Amino acid sequence: MLKSRIEQELNKQLNKEFFSAYLYMSMAAYFQSVDLLGFANWITVQAKEEMLHAEKIYNFIHERNGKVVLEQLEKPQTEWDSPLAAFENSLSHEIFITDSINELVNIALEEKDHATNIFLQWFVTEQVEEESNATEIIRKIKLMKDAPGGMFLLDKELATRTLVVPAV
């Protein structure tokens, strides 16, 4: 059984994960509008991953006899000055999510909710990967500076990303 505080905080995180997917779909639309279809593919896969993260939390709340509460999502940003700006936004958002997951772990520990703490460890590990992925793309964009050929090659590379559904 979930304690009230844990249930509330898990619901907040659930809604943050849904917003993450919403934000990334908005980024995908931006990338499509500037004809970077590989970038759009990469970020669309990212949005799908965020939906899987939300689903994990949704299912966990139910498994612990809690109540899922979905909130209204705010409108995401729709325009960026450049692909670099979009990925810098992605990284700052992932850092925000990491901080949120870490705070949720702290709350689980305070509440002595070991099941939730163990559940959240997957997210802790996942956030290391999320930040690393965004950082790697930012570094590649910065390395190429204004070389259009570099952007073309990176777009081609990002087009190869596929969704890998984590084992539950």
- Using one digit for the tens of pLDDT, what is the confidence trace for 98-113? 999 999 999 999 999 9
**What number does CATH give the domain 4-158?**
1.20.1260.10
- Please name the residue that has the structure tokens 């959240």: 120
Both tokens assigned to 73 = 């999502």
Cα–Cα distance for residue pair 116/107, rounded to 1 Å: 10
152-to-28, 46, 100, 148 alpha-carbon distances in Å: 17, 20, 35, 6
pLDDT tens, residue by residue, 115-157:
999 999 999 999 999 999 999 999 999 999 878 799 999 999 9
Note the pTM of the prediction, 2 decimals: 0.95
Question: 42 near 162, Cβ under 8 Å?
Answer: no
